[in-house]
Structure 1
Amino acid sequence: MSPTLRSAVDVAAGGKTRAVIYVRISQDRTGAGLGVDRQREDCEALAARNGWDVVEVYVDNDVSAFSGKLRKDYRQMLADLDEGKATIVIAWHTDRLHRSPTELEEYINLSERRGISTHTVQAGTIDLSTPSGRMTARILGAVARQESEHKGERVARARRQKALAGEWMGGIRPYGWGLPTGEMRKKIDRKTGDEVEVPELDMMKAVPEEAEALRYWTDQILSGASIRSLVKWCADKGITTTRGNPVSHTDMRDMLLRPRNAGIAVYRGEEVGRGKWEAIVDETKYRAVAAILKDPARTTTPGAAPKWLGSILYRCGRGECPHFVYVTQSGGRRFPSYRCQTGHGGGRRAEIVDQYVEDVLVERLSRPDANDLLLPAPDAVDVTGLQAEAGQIQQRMRDLGGLFGAGELELAAFTEGMETARAQLEGVTRQLARAATQDPLVGLVGAQDVRKAWKALELEQQRNVLRALVTVTLKTPRQGRMPDGGYFDYDAVHFAWKRERGSK
């Protein structure tokens, strides 16, 4: 049935033709919704001229039809039309409805099944009940899709050009940058719709307090701290992300791994050169942190944080048992105990074991020869030379990308060249990491009061010292009263030192 005939049937039935309006704008930079408001006014005017009764208006603001993101109001409109809510759909243009051939075919099937006609302000009436109307809709959809793809290519080229030039490419303000210039600009508040003034930000300059936090986090990771401890530090200090949200484990890891910290420009995950903004973290330290956090052997514990020094670090020494011990409450809540993961044997009072291990470590680190425990400085690590080599590799990667983009290099050769360059860059990164990674014993060796310095460490840092220095094994204890008059067998706690000969 044609749109004109359908309207006549509705009028003959004694009622006005029921219509719905759909409006959408793919990018609302101000948040004011002005684009959809203008579309709505034009669509309402079209409905008034034709005497249609608008029963619903569906709005998807700042959502691209081409991006594939869910358009909630569009999907609701289809469901309502399938329930018979209206027989007319009004849009500003067909490309506001759909730019995907799949979506168009779904819409055509619904229109045929429910007798729905489509009217647009710009493209006129699209009669999907006829072959010519469907052909017109498909042609318009193909043209709209081509325009979207072309626009995407232009945006991508512009972003790549900015990245190669070391400029800010836009997006969410990264933590550490965006120093207020002293000037103000107007912005529409997305929540209230009111026009407000906000500070103009210079994205090339660092925010002092945020830069200091980034440097602190970097040094802490190099000293053996965990991401978990840094997240807690942020919570205690009231530090949030640039969006005002609490810093999560993922947020902290992403901020530490951001190449921008070291003044490195990135495009689509690949380093493309130096940025024009202020570097906050020394590149050597950034490379070291990246190597630590990306190390496949790095232990991550998504569960609860360890609360005891030796949990899953002390070894079970009963016979040939290869497992570690952990703390349980099987001895009663007053007496948490270390027990083997397999559950065999008795437990050892966790508080007493940890205190004894601490006493032994502090005593050893307080000796005059404690300096001998420190790892030797990396031999012949030419940081300047390695950084220059990294720059050359990155330039080669950019050159490969340029040749491939210009059609002068085949895909196979491009892929092989990029894989080789990435492997070389990873090797350079690991060498730079050796120059920046800090021995966990630094800060304890040579301290005026070693015990005070030990107590000042976070638990995870203490555990890193334990990992680096000694393997503790809990042997089967003797029964009864010990020579010192107590019942704890200290001789059953065995120390195997990793950085010196002999053991305790």
Structure 2
Amino acid sequence: MDVMPRKTTQASPVSTRLADHAALIGGFDSLEILSDLGGLSVEETQDITAIYARRSPTRKDRDEVSIDNQLTNGLEWCVQHGRTRVVLYIDQDRSASNPAKPREAFKRLMADIEEGKLKEVVCRSDERFLRSPIERELSINLLVGAEMPVCYTHDAYNDLTTSGGRMQARIKAAVNRQEVERLAERRNLSELERVKRGMAATTPAPFGLAHTKDRSTYVHVTEEAKVINEAVDYLIDIEGSTLAEVARRWNGAGITNRQGRPWRWRAVKDALLNPAMVGRRAYQRHTYLYDTKTKPVESWKAETTPGNWEPVIDPGRYETLKLMLTATRQAVGNAARHLGAGVYECGVGAEHKPLRSRVGTQKGEKIRYYGCHGDRCEKVHTHVKADVVDEYVVAQLKVYLRDPAQFDAFNAANADQTAKAVAEPAHAAAARQRGVLEARRAELAEAYAVGKISLSILVDAEERITKELADIATTDLPVSSIEREEIPWTVIEEQWDDLEISAKKKALKRVFPTIRVFPALAQSQGRGKFYTPPVEHWVHLYDHMGRLLPILDGDEDLNETRLAQITHAAKCGVEIPGAAAMLAGLQADTDTPEALAVA
């Protein structure tokens, strides 16, 4: 048992609000009933009896009076035995067998006992107090050490001062545990039979659906089904759509989730990807009773079987949405907000991890930075002002969007200047989709091999995957250059400021698939002044063939820029691919041999 010290004297609003039981408490005028021991010293609590009550998680309409009944039993016991001061510890909707959801009132009770407070503890029965043999052993050590008796109103008393009494308590805990496991086993077998028959789950119905009166199947909730399909259309058909925006729209319309709370993007994702939306029943054989057992996964990753209700979402649209939300940036629910975040790479790190956008403060003013920040690279390398990098990159992009000659020159094949292909091909999106589908196919084959899914499920899934692969096969063609006519570049250039950030990022990656940012390496000039090298020295743009911008054509200024790029990277401990060949080509043209020596 993890005994935690009291952090506050205020009673828990969930577990010990006396107002929730005012009518019951009013019938015991002879007792002084407290909500907690806040503000009382150890000496002031030696005549106080603790009453512990717990109700297991269940439908409220099935067990509305359980807590009141347990409190009545405890209070009557106190009156019969001449007690005058009582404090209540109440756990609502808490299992004594699930460590993932701790019993807060029980933890407070154990903490108070450890502090030396209280006279005794009263509970209706042993199984209300404890069900776990491990917790039993820990509680015996605490209760015996504190000489704290635990009395039961409807169960045999455990005399923990004797070895026989402690043995009896341990046996009860083992029996309680067996009862929990037997009930869980019975529920699992019953649920498995419902799965085989395609019946609805006995848990609360998913958003968009409702149980029939006999709880054997689902029916559509018309208004909820309508907003679900509107959300699917928005996410699939609208560029730059996000789950967070769906959540905002639903909340704005006054639509709440099944718990009556506002929507968040992750809850929206869970609702839309629930297999029940396409008439499929997800089933996961898991338990919280043992840590070694398989933990539940997201419903869309679980094994599914056909259900006996009509789909809310068209199955084809569902698969498209599933691929989008589990294989793209929308999986995290946020719209792209900054041009370089996830696009620019750390120039120093061995794996050139993508940079993130962060906000810092300089002289009281908030400044946005791009950096690796040590959470992606092995340590912090790059930390540069975002606006400086973005302005340079956008300016270079517009040069190639605006000037066909420049674009063609940059795109022209030149084997002497090609170090290696480091950029993503134009068919990358299709390649990623194919990879996801192939991985799903492999997972299905493995699941069938070990008996997790049936042959019919495997065949159905294989047909869907084969169709999706056929749909993207035509885009799976390698390319060696970017054709200017593929994209309306001039339109993009003219309307750049009005484009969504996601569209800007796509255009940027098509022209400059690799953008590496090095530390600026500002140097002090004394008297608080610093010199920062020109941005083109430490922001390197590459084309799809891995060539570093600018393409050298004998221009002296371009040669100087290339030399500065190589030198700056060398100061950061990085050798640019093909740097030796570049330096050899510059040897005859440059007037600064000492700079070449440094490089």
Q: Give the TM-score normalised by structure 1.
A: 0.60
Distance 2:205 2:123 in 1: 35
Could you say if the C-alpha distance between residues 136 and 325 of structure 1 is closer, same or farther in structure 2, counting changes exceeding 3 Å? closer
Q: Secondary structure of 1:205's partner?
A: strand
Q: CA deviation at 1:112?
A: 1.8
From 205, 225, 249, the counterpart of 1:211: 225
The CA RMSD over aligned residues, in Å, is: 5.5
Q: CA deviation at 1:223?
A: 4.4
In the alignment, is the contact (CA less than 8 A) between 2:202 and 2:215 conserved in 1? no
In the alignment, is the contact (CA less than 8 A) between 1:63 and 1:71 conserved in 2? yes
Could you say if the C-alpha distance between residues 33 and 327 of structure 1 is closer, same or farther in structure 2, counting changes exceeding 3 Å? closer
**Bigger fraction of residues in strand:** 1
The residue that corresponds to 2:321 in the other structure is: 289
The residue that corresponds to 1:86 in the other structure is: 118
Q: CA deviation at 1:171?
A: 3.2
From 34, 37, 42, the counterpart of 2:65: 34
Provide Cα deviations, 1:134-160, integer angstroms capped at 9, x if missing partner.
122122221111111111112222222
Distance 1:206 1:462 in 2: 40
Distance 1:358 1:230 in 2: 32
Q: Quick one: which amino acid aligns to residue 54 of structure 2? A: R
Q: CA deviation at 1:165?
A: 2.3
Q: CA deviation at 1:83?
A: 3.0
Q: CA deviation at 1:473?
A: 8.2
Distance 1:359 1:174 in 2: 52
Whether 1:99 aligns to 2:131 is yes
Q: CA deviation at 1:74?
A: 1.2
The residue that corresponds to 1:486 in the other structure is: none
From 166, 173, 181, the counterpart of 1:134: 166
The residue that corresponds to 2:274 in the other structure is: 258
Distance 2:277 2:500 in 1: 25
Provide Cα deviations, 1:399-432, integer angstroms capped at 9, x if missing partner.
x8xxxxxxxxxxxxxx734489798877555334
In the alignment, is the contact (CA less than 8 A) between 1:92 and 1:121 conserved in 2? yes
Q: Quick one: which amino acid aligns to residue 278 of structure 2? A: A
From 452, 459, 465, the counterpart of 1:430: 465
Q: CA deviation at 1:273?
A: 1.8
In the alignment, is the contact (CA less than 8 A) between 1:338 and 1:349 conserved in 2? no
Q: Secondary structure of 1:294's partner?
A: helix
From 24, 48, 51, the counterpart of 2:79: 48
Alignment of 1:345-494 (within 5 A): 348=391, 416-418=450-452, 428-434=463-469, 459-460=501-502, 463=505
Q: Quick one: which amino acid aligns to residue 450 of structure 2? A: E
Q: CA deviation at 1:264?
A: 1.1
Could you say if the C-alpha distance between residues 103 and 126 of structure 1 is closer, same or farther in structure 2, counting changes exceeding 3 Å? same
Could you say if the C-alpha distance between residues 28 and 290 of structure 1 is closer, same or farther in structure 2, counting changes exceeding 3 Å? closer
Q: CA deviation at 1:307?
A: 4.1
Whether 1:247 aligns to 2:279 is no
Q: Quick one: which amino acid aligns to residue 264 of structure 2? A: S
Q: Quick one: which amino acid aligns to residue 45 of structure 1? A: E
Q: CA deviation at 1:95?
A: 0.8
Provide Cα deviations, 1:455-478, integer angstroms capped at 9, x if missing partner.
9985435655776x765789xxxx
Q: Quick one: which amino acid aligns to residue 67 of structure 2? A: V
Q: Secondary structure of 2:465's partner?
A: helix
In the alignment, is the contact (CA less than 8 A) between 2:199 and 2:217 conserved in 1? no
Provide Cα deviations, 1:77-120, integer angstroms capped at 9, x if missing partner.
12222333333221111111101111112222223212222221
In the alignment, is the contact (CA less than 8 A) between 1:25 and 1:61 conserved in 2? yes
In the alignment, is the contact (CA less than 8 A) between 1:87 and 1:115 conserved in 2? no
Larger RCO: 1 or 2 (CA < 8 Å, sep 6+): 1
Q: Secondary structure of 2:86's partner?
A: strand
Could you say if the C-alpha distance between residues 210 and 351 of structure 1 is closer, same or farther in structure 2, counting changes exceeding 3 Å? farther
Distance 2:332 2:194 in 1: 38
In the alignment, is the contact (CA less than 8 A) between 1:337 and 1:349 conserved in 2? no
Provide Cα deviations, 1:178-212, integer angstroms capped at 9, x if missing partner.
39x9x9xxxxxxxxxxxxxxxx9997222334333
Distance 1:89 1:111 in 2: 10
Distance 2:308 2:163 in 1: 57
Q: Quick one: which amino acid aligns to residue 171 of structure 1? A: T
The residue that corresponds to 1:148 in the other structure is: 180
The residue that corresponds to 2:144 in the other structure is: 112
From 54, 57, 81, the counterpart of 1:24: 54
In the alignment, is the contact (CA less than 8 A) between 1:285 and 1:433 conserved in 2? no
Could you say if the C-alpha distance between residues 338 and 308 of structure 1 is closer, same or farther in structure 2, counting changes exceeding 3 Å? same
For structure 2, the 5+ residue unaligned runs are 1-44, 285-298, 347-351, 360-364, 372-380, 405-425, 431-436, 476-485, 516-540, 546-599
The residue that corresponds to 1:369 in the other structure is: none
In the alignment, is the contact (CA less than 8 A) between 2:130 and 2:136 conserved in 1? yes
Q: CA deviation at 1:59?
A: 1.1
The residue that corresponds to 2:244 in the other structure is: 231
Distance 2:310 2:161 in 1: 61
Distance 1:201 1:418 in 2: 26
